[in-house]
Amino acid sequence: MDSKRQLQSAELIKRNLSVVFQQEGSFIFGNALITVTDVKITPDLSQAKIYLSLYNVSDKNALLEKIINHTHILKQALVQRIKSHIRRIPQIHFFMDETVDEMYRVDSLFHNIKSLYPPDSHEEE
């Protein structure tokens, strides 16, 4: 169970990093849409795992590598936004959140099942 401070810090990072990606992400990542889906912070507030959903891009792994390579720039922009709200800025690590992709995959499987087994069209008289 996360502490109240962990939850507050995670939400602060999530909201502000989302703005950083909106404002400055297009200069680095082009037309890709990057959404911060979740932030998990260690109890000592020294590490933050940031989960991202990546859209409008053909190679998501290459984009994630590019984000990881630009971590320093992204962290600097984040620090400028939250330095008055948080004492120590955690180290940030980016991960891909595949929840939405998995949801679409499962939805596609259900659609395929429905097409193989259509509902009975018997009308009762």
Neighbours of 53 (CB within 10 A): 17
- Whole-number pLDDT of residue 120: 67
Task: Please report, rounded to a whole number, the percentage of residues in the chain having pLDDT higher than 70.
Answer: 93
CA 22 to chain centre: 13
pLDDT value at 124 more than 60 = no
Angle at the Cα of 55 from the Cα atoms of 46 and 20, rounded to 5 degrees: 45
Q: What is the pTM of this model?
A: 0.78
Instruction: Map out the domains of the chain with their CATH numbers.
Output: 4-116 (3.30.300.20)
Query: In this predicted model, which residue has the larger pLDDT, 88 or 25?
Result: 88
Q: Which residues contact 118 (CB under 8 A, 6 or more apart)?
A: none
- Whole-number pLDDT of residue 74: 92
Residue 53, phi then psi, degrees to nearest 5: -105, 135
